[in-house]
Amino acid sequence: MTRPTELTFAIVDDLLAASARGRLGAPAQGQNFTPRTIGPLIELALAEGHGRALLNSPWIEAIAQHDLRSALSRRTVSWIDGVGLRGLLRVLPRPFSDEYDLARTSFLLAARKAAEQVGFPIPTSQSLVAALREMESNIREHSGAIETGLVAFQARPGSFEFVVADTGVGVLATLREAPEFADLADHGRALFTALQDGASRYGRDAHRGTGFNELFLGIARLNADLRFRTGDHALTIAGSDPSLTGAQLSQKPPYQGFLASIHCLLPVGSPVLH
């Protein structure tokens, strides 16, 4: 039996570009894509224009991640799957209700336990979830549309993935609020700048914008694939001990807002729990 083709970011880019040009017809028999990882799935769901329609089209296999897709479409505030290895949380503005504060705390705890359950050491799991929490806070502080934000995670043996996304004003508009970044005119350059320690709409002198430093500390010594999206650019980093020095920028179909997808793998030889 032929193994289904996995939905990847490259395929998401191709589907969105073809759809925007009006050149995407119906797929041939069996020519659809299975969303095993959550990053491409969520990017497609939130993409401008045709993404939502594509997610529910014959191009995307209907069964895989059905429960997560259902939570996305219902705008469920908090969802954790039955075995605690996948979760979704909608971002709500402060002040929190007691109910939402409990849901948020439970989500972050479930994410940490999921990472530990599939083999990540406790300190690494804590660091990854600390980065997730900081990036969720960035949505509140910088997106301009807190109610569009979401965070999600998925754990598999030796693999932990999380996504933080919104459909707010985007990185370029946010950074340009600071006088020192007012001359930025390119979404790609804005992405690269935003990922540097201390860069934010308050300016570097404010000593804010440390969330991505938490991220890079959390993934040190791991193998990881990172993808950041805003406007018409993506910034990707891949490999062991990933950092900005290995970043690559490329133009992509438009994405309104900001999306970060982080997929971490345990180093080769690490014990993996099943």
Q: Within this chain, do residues 90 and 192 fall inside the same structural domain, yes or no?
A: yes
Model pLDDT for residues 229-249, shown as the tens digit of each residue: 999 999 999 888 777 888 899
Model pLDDT for residues 94-142, shown as the tens digit of each residue: 777 788 889 999 999 999 999 999 999 999 999 999 989 988 988 888 8
Its domain, for residue 59, covers 1-74
pTM attached to this predicted model: 0.90
Residue 271 located in a structural domain = no
Residue 273 located in a structural domain = no
pLDDT of 44 reads: 94
Q: What is the mean pLDDT of the chain?
A: 87
Residue 26 located in a structural domain = yes
Residue 274 located in a structural domain = no
The DSSP annotation for 182-246 comes to TT---HHHHHHHHTSTT-STT-GGGT---HHHHHHHHTTTSEEEEEEEEEEEEEEEEEES--GGG
Residue 228 located in a structural domain = yes
pLDDT of 27 reads: 86
Q: Within this chain, do residues 99 and 231 fall inside the same structural domain, yes or no?
A: yes
The number of domains in the chain is 2
Residue 91 located in a structural domain = yes
Q: Within this chain, do residues 14 and 143 fall inside the same structural domain, yes or no?
A: no
Q: Within this chain, do residues 100 and 66 fall inside the same structural domain, yes or no?
A: no
Whether residue 213 contacts residue 195, with contact meaning beta carbons closer than 8 Å, is answered with no
Q: Which amino acid is at 20?
A: A
CA 25 to chain centre: 28
With CA atoms as reference, report the closest residue to 69 among 137, 143, 7, 140. 7
Q: Within this chain, do residues 212 and 122 fall inside the same structural domain, yes or no?
A: yes
Whether residue 140 contacts residue 94, with contact meaning beta carbons closer than 8 Å, is answered with yes
Regions in the chain scoring below 50 on pLDDT: 1, 207, 209-210
Whether residue 133 contacts residue 106, with contact meaning beta carbons closer than 8 Å, is answered with no
Question: Among residues 54, 74, 94, which one ends one of the domains?
Answer: 74
CATH number of the domain bearing residue 202: 3.30.565.10
With CA atoms as reference, report the closest residue to 141 among 169, 162, 105. 169
pLDDT of 274 reads: 52
**Helix 38-46 vs helix 9-20: angle between axes, to the nearest 10 degrees?**
20
Question: Among residues 18, 51, 74, which one ends one of the domains?
Answer: 74
C-alpha distances (whole Å) from 224 to each of 45, 81, 128 are 23, 24, 12
Question: Among residues 50, 74, 98, which one ends one of the domains?
Answer: 74
